Amino acid sequence: MISNQSLKERPLEEMITSAKQGDQEVQNDLLKMYQPYIAKCVSEVCKRYIDPKRDDEFSVGLFAFNEAIQTYSAEKGSSFLSFAKLVVKRKVIDYIRFVQKTPKTASLDESYDEEKMENPAEIVAVNEKYREEQEAWYRREEIADFKDKLWEYKLTLAELTEASPKHRDARESAIRTAKILYDDTTLREYVHLKKKLPIKDLVKRVDVSKKTLERNRKYILAIFIVLSEDYVYLKDYLKGVAL
């Protein structure tokens, strides 16, 4: 087995590639080495200490981390750990929602005890409140990660708000442009590498003037980032707008 010391000396993406190619030793060692990271991600969702030996949520996070190993693509532009964090948190939240459908195991929040609640309506109300809090928390996590990605492109949320097209038609056109940009492998790799729009190539692919592309540059880049990442709620927003 590869020692932890030798693992640390290898680039993480190289280890991910080996695991995806079927190297079971590397895969197992990655899962073992990153258990503290997985526990931290799960703990942030559950808002409590997570015991890897006792908590089912940790097992969910471990499986999710393994799924992240198998599905990660460096071409998307995000680091593996950033991608894995989102996958783990999303899977744990999905698990929480599933568990909440069964009254006896619905609560993962230590702030209350269902067995002491005699009123079924009270249980439903508490579960609903917990679900809403978890969704609100996850949205905040997505926004925080989105802000970090914007910073890589030298953009801020304040700039994006100011640069967003005022008219719906213009926004939909910019979103379609971003999707064309993302769907083209060559153009997508250019943006991930250069952190800017390939205006000359893009103008040949869309029915939009160069001037319009330059005016909506920041907004198009922001939508491109959303398409490139594992954002559940932000992508839902896009589906409702134009995709």
- Given 151, 183, 209, the domain boundary residue is 151
Give the pLDDT confidence score for residue 239 in this predicted structure: 66
Q: Is the pLDDT of residue 112 over 70?
A: no
The predicted model gives 178-183 an average pLDDT of 92
10 domain residue, yes or no: no
Residue 223 has a CB neighbour count (10 Å cut-off) of 26
Give 32-58 as a DSSP string.
HHTHHHHHHHHHHHHTS---TTT-HHH
pTM of the model: 0.55
Measure the CA–CA gap between 71 and 79, rounded to whole angstroms.
Answer: 13
Please tell me the predicted confidence (pLDDT) of residue 103: 54
pLDDT value, residue 94: 86
Number of domains the chain contains: 2
Judgement on whether residues 172 and 144 belong to the same structural domain of the protein: no
Position 177 scores a pLDDT of 93
Final residue in a domain of this structure, among 90, 121, 151: 151
Largest CA distance in the chain: 67
Asked if the structure places residue 166 within a domain, the reply is yes
Domain ranges, residue 118:
34-151
Same domain, 146 and 215: no
Angle at 195 between CA 138 and CA 206, to 5 degrees: 95
Of 130, 151, 172, the one marking the end of a domain is: 151
Question: Is 132 domain-assigned?
Answer: yes
| Model pLDDT for residues 43-77, shown as the tens digit of each residue | 888 888 888 888 899 999 999 999 999 988 877 66
Residue 42 C-beta-side C-alpha neighbours within 13 Å: 26
For residues 39 and 141, membership in a common domain is answered with: yes
- Looking at per-residue pLDDT, the higher value among 230 and 46 belongs to 46
The verdict on 54 and 134 lying in the same domain is yes
Reduce the secondary structure of 183-213 to three states and give it as a string. Answer: HCHHHHHHHHHHCCCCHHHHCCCCCCCHHHH
- Give the pLDDT confidence score for residue 156 in this predicted structure: 92
Contact present, 61 and 88 (Cβ < 8 Å): yes
Enter the tokens of residue 208.
């939009």
Residue 192 lies in a domain: yes
Judge if 147 and 52 occupy the same domain.
yes
Answer whether residue 51 is part of any domain: yes
What average pLDDT does this structure show over 26-31?
92
Q: What does the pLDDT look like over 94-111, one tens digit per residue? A: 888 888 775 554 444 444
- Are 98 and 193 contained in the same domain? no
